[in-house]
A and B are shown apart, each in its own frame.
Chain A
Amino acid sequence: MRASRLERVGTYAVLAVFTAYALYPVLAILFTALRPEVVGQGGVHWENFAKAWHEGNFGSYLGTSAIVSGSVVAISVVLSVLAGYAFGTMRFRGHQALFYLMLLGIMVPAEAIVVPLYFDLRDLGLTNSYLALIGPQVAQSVAFGAFWMRTYFSSASRSVVEAARLDGAGHWQTLWRVLLPMGRPALVTLIVMVFMWTWNEFLLALVMVTDEALRTAPLGLRFFSGRAVTSVPLLAAASVLVALPVVLVYLFLQRHFIRGMLDGAVKG
């Protein structure tokens, strides 16, 4: 027995207060999204979502976000696995220096590189392109991903790799047939994190994109909220649409996700 009954009640009370505090803004926007647009009308208005979708052109924004996030996740996960594998299991001249060079990228704030990126891409005629949205985010994700996957590969059991070797597997097969299937938890965490970062990204899209067809969901939401005619329930509905994909993934993978994120942070 470590705690008295009173203490236990107190603990739950404190926990409840903080949980309510954490949830309130999120639930408030959810309930606002279901409110009638005209004050005084009653009822639950699910049609707000459809209306926000059409009026705010969110089909296009969410589509762009899906393309950008999908591409960034796919490319950076493959590149991170390859680089992490080499950094974690192989020794070659300069491997340490190269690793630290990439690690540097975790600490470089996007604010510092967005200015030259814009002017360089402008000179190449590449602002307002998927490349401008995808390239920089792959680079940032790979900096973290190479570090993250290296941690996994260097902790993978040596005997497993040797067994694979005895079975005649080369370094390529060892990676894809043996180590990667075993490393699913590390991989899923990486995928979820990169997806979250990319989906929620705002500054890069704000700077790179003036073409409405290429607006990402957060950027589109910013424009939607800036319109004077947007009603509060519709703005709330649009906010829910933009936040939903990441929140859904989070709800399904949260245990795994929090554990991975904090492990990564403590190790990093």
Chain B
Amino acid sequence: MAVAEPRRVGYLYILPALLVYGLFLLFPLLHSGWISLFSWDGLTVGTFVGLDNYAALAADVGFLAAFGHVAVLLVFFAVLPVSIGLVLATALSRTRIRGMAFFRTALFLPQVVAMVVVAIAWQRIFAPDGALNDLLRLVGLDGLVTAWLGESGTALIAVGLVGTWVQTGLAVVLFLGGIGKISGELFDAVRLDGGGVVREFRTVVLPALRAEIGVALTLTVIAALRTFDLVYVMTPQGGPGGSTTVPSYEIYHRAFHSGQVGSAAAIGITLTALAFLITFGITKVTGRDR
């Protein structure tokens, strides 16, 4: 363990970091809480309204719709990637794979490409003359051909599918790492016992991957909650019929375009509280100690 020893000089070491952190993160966060108590258009003097901004959110159609959209995105950003990741990692764990470094590099790649670039790449795929429609025509599903990002019924799902693409590699690589640490004897024991893949998954893989599942869920759920770049670039102005608005978009739009700065700050604080709750909640359930 640490060479922890009493040293006042420690204050000097943390001072610069603390200063920047306080100035550019802590203070803005507190200020955000303060602004959220005002009705303010960003230009004139605001009026103090207490918690009215928060109360108003509960009945705010636009805000509730944005959270509804995030609920859908959660399935695509978190549930699907983690499920696919678990199945894939389990399947891969049964064989010694040659060239794993290559596969891992490829699977993880979506995590490092700038979101704006990801958005543009998928915009092409979802375009009326794009690859997805070509594929559908090829396999005879002409009925499904549509302008994916231009229809209010499909735009959100299209954005979600991109989220699945981005997050699946993260989950797979995380779980493969976890499975790699499981002793091979445990798998052999289940097999000698006549257990199949399903039992192997339930009794060996799932319990051993609790911590990794917790990490994957935390990262992906928070990513879903915070989605901005993707919807902003792929579906401008909140998408067809406002079908792809998300809380981050509402914050941006209210603060910088519709003069509801107090309301935007209130959404920001709500989002922060939610991120905290989710992180702690998942940490508690999966028993990951910080």
Contact = CB atoms under 8 A, between A and B. Distances in A.
What is the size category of the interface that chain B forms with chain A? 35 or more
Contacts of A254: 101, 104-105, 108
Q: Is the interface of B mostly helix, strand, loop or mixed?
A: helix
Interface string B221-264: 01001101100110010000000000110011001100001001
Interface string A93-113: 001001001110101111111
Interface residues of A, number: 101
Given A111-B268, A203-B248, A139 B29 contact: no
Interface in B107-122: 107-110, 112-118, 120-122
A23 B106 contact: yes
Contact of A243 (B32, B91, B114): B114
A262 interface: yes
B131 A28 contact: yes
Contact of B106 (A3, A22, A102, A138): A22
A1 to B, nearest CB: 10
A226 B236 CA distance: 10
B17 A119 contact: no
Contact of B10 (A28, A86, A115): A86
Contacts of A79: 16-17, 20
A53 interface: no
A66 interface: no
Interface in B50-109: 88, 91-92, 94-97, 101, 103-109
Given A22-B107, A107-B222, 11 more contacts: A2-B188, A2-B191, A15-B103, A19-B107, A109-B268, A111-B247, A111-B251, A111-B252, A114-B252, A203-B229, A225-B120
Interface of B: 1-11, 13-14, 16-18, 20-21, 23-26, 28-29, 31-32, 34-35, 42, 88, 91-92, 94-97, 101, 103-110, 112-118, 120-122, 124-125, 131, 165, 168-169, 172-174, 177, 184, 187-188, 191, 211-212, 215, 219, 222, 225-226, 228-229, 232-233, 236, 247-248, 251-252, 255-256, 261, 264-265, 268-269, 271-272, 275-276, 279, 288, 290
